[in-house]
Structure 1
Amino acid sequence: MTTTLTGIASWTEFLTAREVPVLRQTAHAITQARARAERINIREVADIVLHDPLMTARVLRFSVRQRGRRQLQDISTVEHAVMMLGVEPFFHHFVQFEVVEEQLAAHPQALLGLLHVIRRAQRAARYALDWATWRCDLNSEEVAVAALLHDLAEMLIWCVAPRQALEVAALRKSHPAMRTADAYEAVLHFPLEGLQAALCRTWELPELLLNLMDDSHSERPRVKNVKLAVDLARHSAKGWDDPALPDDFRAIARLMNIDEETLMLRLGLKHPGTGPSSEGAPVPRG
């Protein structure tokens, strides 16, 4: 669609009125899991959800609406959300889905753009989880979920306004030095992080997640963990020669209190006794 919406408030209202779509793979995995609902455990269900940032947002948003008045604690992880819902009620509530591959069938380039952002979010979540675990974070999944959802507004723009999203992509291609945030603001006429914050508040997502996704508080270790994971995933998305990566590596090494050579080994960019690896994007090691 080409939307005539203007301003954060109208976009927030529009996106709030729509159900969040999911990946076809997610819909298929949930259908298969439903067939063995009596034998599947909460962790397995959470793993399916966490593979898809869109489904993760949908589950957390739904869990807020279902939360009892006496429940004071925010639900900030998917595993907690599934536990509070119960496995069988989860499958009862999540039966039908809008599938992004079908929704964007007429816009194949936009689908590729969305999948690129989703893959980037998945990698950011893996980095964030790995580093938080290394740092003995008391709830590393919260940090991973914040990294996974850090660019949720961007994903939703690709889903519902593919032409505008493609316009942003074209603008960045013609101006390689332009920041993604600046390109979105040039096309949408408002800052994307403003829409992200408005959606999180309107959907009543946990305040903790909103704080962890707020880059303006990156002096806090957990927020810095999220931001650096997102930055690394973004800067390495097209290879390991981005000029911003050396600064990322230094900052990550400081966060983890390790030297850069150890970090390179942990990222899979260097093997013991060798130089930098020429292989593709690494998967963090547990």
Structure 2
Amino acid sequence: MLTENQKRWGVDQWAAYLSNRELPCMPRSKVRLLELEAAQGEKLAARDLADIAAADPFLCLKLLREAEAHRVQRLGHDTTTPLAAVMQLGTDTFHKLLLNCPETDESASGLAECEARSHIASLLALRWGTARADISPDEIAMAALLSEIGELLLWSFAPDVPKNALVALHSGQSPRSVQAQVDTCGFRFKDLTLKCATIWHLPPLLTQLIRGIDNTRSNLSRLCVDTARHILTEGSSSPALPSDIAEAKHIIPGATLEWLAEQLPGIDEAQISPIVAKAADLLDPTHH
């Protein structure tokens, strides 16, 4: 339950409070580590460890913060991918970090849905990002994975805040999820993510990608997060998916609409044609 004091908190107080909690991990990350090690009979290589982290926004953030703390200040590059973070820390440190990490409650439906959205967004970023030679898909995927971290922290440590926003949305009191957040707690959860990113001194590149404006890479990161939300809430019938594909075509002009739609996680072949046809209409209403 929220205290009377917490009910009046703005984004700055929440960011200060949440950025001080010990970050948990998804229980499945530990299970995966132990299963893979049992199967291989030895400790995992850095690439395998990075793949485990890349599928868990909490763990990825914990790893990133730890790696940035280890990095000799201002020497070397910023750590902007899970693999770079594992290399920075070393595999033994990562191993200890994960096995000693508290676990979040993945049975909480709001948390599970928000985390699934992050994961789908990062998968999509990896797929779409490969179609532009000037982009590191791993960096876009990392930003997409972390872009919901403000809301994930709320689900973990103050679930009443996002619950109130969902009630406002589902009751029709607020028309869109962002509006519901502002109506019920006075700020967007994305602003909370960005405030925490500043407190944690995350690399400026990742913060810019999470902000989601300014340039091609940031726009692609934001689009992946939006598209993941549409896939999760309404599936292939989401009226927003054709415009997502049309926007992706603007950002990745070298890719076909068909290829862009085929990369959508969880959408099967039969559902792709109508999405592509509607996207083509949006790009060129005269193409019939």
Structure 1 residues 270 and 276: CA distance shift in structure 2, 3 A: farther
**How far apart, in 2, do the equivalents of 1:32 and 1:207 lie?**
35
Displacement of 1:239 after TM fit?
1.6
TM-score (norm 2): 0.84
Q: Name whichever of 167-176 and 205-214 sits farther off.
A: 167-176
Displacement of 1:93 after TM fit?
3.4
**How far apart, in 2, do the equivalents of 1:186 and 1:113 lie?**
18
Q: Give yes or no for contact 1:269–1:276 (8 Å, CA) kept in 2.
A: no
Letter in 1 for 2:228: A
Identity %: 29
Aligned equivalent of 1:225, options 220, 223, 226: 220
Q: The residue matched to 1:125 in structure 2 has which SS?
A: helix
Q: Give yes or no for contact 1:27–1:99 (8 Å, CA) kept in 2.
A: no
**Count of residues in correspondence between the two structures:** 267
Match for residue 243 of structure 2?
Answer: 247
1:26 equivalent in alignment to 2:29? yes
1:89 equivalent in alignment to 2:93? yes
Counterparts in 2 of 1:51-90, with a 5 A limit?
A: 51-69=55-73, 71-90=75-94
Q: The residue matched to 2:236 in structure 1 has which SS?
A: coil
Structure 1 residues 139 and 113: CA distance shift in structure 2, 3 A: same
Displacement of 1:138 after TM fit?
4.5
**How far apart, in 2, do the equivalents of 1:243 and 1:93 lie?**
42
Match for residue 188 of structure 2?
Answer: 191
**How far apart, in 2, do the equivalents of 1:266 and 1:91 lie?**
32
**How far apart, in 2, do the equivalents of 1:225 and 1:202 lie?**
25
Structure 1 residues 183 and 118: CA distance shift in structure 2, 3 A: same
Aligned equivalent of 1:164, options 127, 136, 161: 161
Q: Give yes or no for contact 1:168–1:187 (8 Å, CA) kept in 2.
A: yes
Q: The residue matched to 1:236 in structure 2 has which SS?
A: helix
5+ residue gaps in structure 1?
278-286
Match for residue 284 of structure 1?
Answer: none
Letter in 1 for 2:2: T
Q: Residue deviations 1:85-115, cap 9 Å, x none?
A: 11112223333222112xx7xxx6xx11111
Structure 1 residues 34 and 95: CA distance shift in structure 2, 3 A: farther
Structure 1 residues 87 and 211: CA distance shift in structure 2, 3 A: same
**How far apart, in 1, do the equivalents of 2:55 and 2:259 lie?**
28
TM-score (norm 1): 0.84
Q: Residue deviations 1:126-185, cap 9 Å, x none?
A: 111111111124421001001111111011111111122211111110128622222112
Displacement of 1:213 after TM fit?
1.0
User: Where has structure 1 moved over 6 Å in runs of 4 or more?
Assistant: 34-37
1:264 equivalent in alignment to 2:261? yes
Displacement of 1:262 after TM fit?
3.9
Structure 1 residues 20 and 176: CA distance shift in structure 2, 3 A: same
5+ residue gaps in structure 2?
276-288
1:17 equivalent in alignment to 2:13? no
Match for residue 100 of structure 1?
Answer: 104
**How far apart, in 2, do the equivalents of 1:275 and 1:93 lie?**
45
Letter in 2 for 1:211: Q
Match for residue 50 of structure 2?
Answer: 46
Match for residue 282 of structure 1?
Answer: none
